[in-house]
Structure 1
Amino acid sequence: MKQIFVANPKGGCGKTTLATQIASYYAGQNQQVALVDHDNQQSSLDWLKCRPQGCAPIDPVKAYNGYNATVNGVDWSIHDMPAACSLDDLKDAIVGDAYLLIPILPSPTDIKAGVRFLMALNRDPWFAEANIKVGLVANRVRSNTNYFKVLVSFLEQVNMPLITSIRDTQNYIRAMDGGVGIFDLPPSRVVTDKEQWEPLLHWLSASP
């Protein structure tokens, strides 16, 4: 089983959007997928409740308020971590090899929060010893804005790769509302979005 954790202590950065889209993609590839919701707001599980019956199935797993989050018998477990997620939360949740995706928005508050989180990761001996493949995702991006340029400049200075930039579009709102992924939407509408996902899916295809 491959594990993907989507985490950032800053709320509203798009963790649930990334987690659900990744889960939907792999389910559509005939993979057995568990979507593990660590947030008591249950946003990922709410998305899953809206999923049409004709879509590839995804196993819901509750991992908040003391629920047992043991996951077995799947190809992928996708973990949607909560806002205010700490390093201790990650240590408790991650067992074995894993991917860690960190979405960051192009705003002053989000960049500062991202700096603190990345610094905490780099300083922690647990992280240095663990086999965790970390990737950064610039999320809800409008490429013609100054703060997108600031975000890219910042990410180029850290020792973790910027995997891709995902644009700010209503396609993700429609997908979240309907319990589907962008890969389930009409192809002509999501050409640009699929192109932006290619680097991330290629990155996930390599072992952590």
Structure 2
Amino acid sequence: MIVAFLNQKGGVGKTTLALNLAGEWAGKGKRVTLVDADPQGSALDWSQQRAREGVPRRFGVVGLARDTLHREAPELARDADHVVIDGPPRVAGLMRSALLAADLVLIPVQPSPFDGWASAEMLALVAEARIYRPELVARFVLNRCGARTVIARETAETLADHDPPVLTSTIGQRVAFAAAAQSGRLVCELDDADLATREIAALATAIERLGVGRIAS
């Protein structure tokens, strides 16, 4: 199964979610490859930092920031249970290629009306991809949110009326994600990140319940 974290708006947490989801699946014994399709190479930087820190590798990280991704990612999927794509911001050709490669597209948004407005172009690209891939599944993911804040609730209610809808699992605003990333680690590898770890586990469960691709088997 190939899942891509995509949003043309930068700074919404695509890399953080992609890395930690890949780590969650790898921790369950799955073979996972993460594709860094962002020209900035943040996931590759994380992987290099992990190596410098002497932390054992949980999954492979491959740089594929090019518009042939839809032809190359399925080859990677042959040797993996899951391929997770960390997508680019505002690179139209590469974005389209990632959409065509994916079985599931997750669109991270923060609880802000600005993120909602910025998603319109992303949704247009999803609709375009579905012309060629009608089976493509997409969901919004609320990230960096306080579950009990008014704006988080209003954002969730607004996205509930959209196609795609919002995923049932949400991710909070937690310093543990930044702390883990700086040392090339995952939140599940920190001693004081229980809430963040449980949220990533819940995200993986919510994805699995969608029954997309090889997850259904």
For Structure 1 versus Structure 2, the TM-score category normalised by the shorter chain is 0.7 to 0.9
**2:9 aligned counterpart, secondary structure:** coil
CA drift of 1:144 comes to 4.2
Matched, 1:77 2:83: yes
**2:170 aligned counterpart, secondary structure:** strand
Q: Which residue of 1 aligns with 2:24?
A: 25
Which AA in structure 2 matches 1:176?
Answer: A
Q: Which residue of 1 aligns with 2:47?
A: 48
Rounded Cα–Cα distance in structure 2 between residues aligned with 1:117 and 1:155: 14
Q: Is the 8 A contact 2:48 2:184 kept in 1?
A: yes
Over 6 Å off, 4+ runs: none
Q: Which residue of 1 aligns with 2:145?
A: 141
CA drift of 1:33 comes to 1.7
TM-score, normalising length: structure 1: 0.84
Rounded Cα–Cα distance in structure 2 between residues aligned with 1:44 and 1:25: 16
| RMSD (Å) for aligned C-alpha atoms | 2.5
Question: Quick check: 40-49 or 138-147, which moved more?
Answer: 138-147
Matched, 1:193 2:196: yes
Change (3 A) 1:120 1:207: closer
> Which residue of the other structure, out of 134, 142, 155, is the alignment partner of 2:159?
155
Can you give the 5+ residue segments of structure 1 that lack an aligned partner in the other structure?
none
TM-score, normalising length: structure 2: 0.81
Which AA in structure 2 matches 1:99?
Answer: L
Can you give the 5+ residue segments of structure 2 that lack an aligned partner in the other structure?
none
Rounded Cα–Cα distance in structure 1 between residues aligned with 2:124 and 2:99: 19
Rounded Cα–Cα distance in structure 2 between residues aligned with 1:159 and 1:119: 11
Question: Quick check: 110-119 or 63-72, which moved more?
Answer: 63-72
Q: Is the 8 A contact 1:137 1:165 kept in 2?
A: yes
Richer in strand (by share): 1
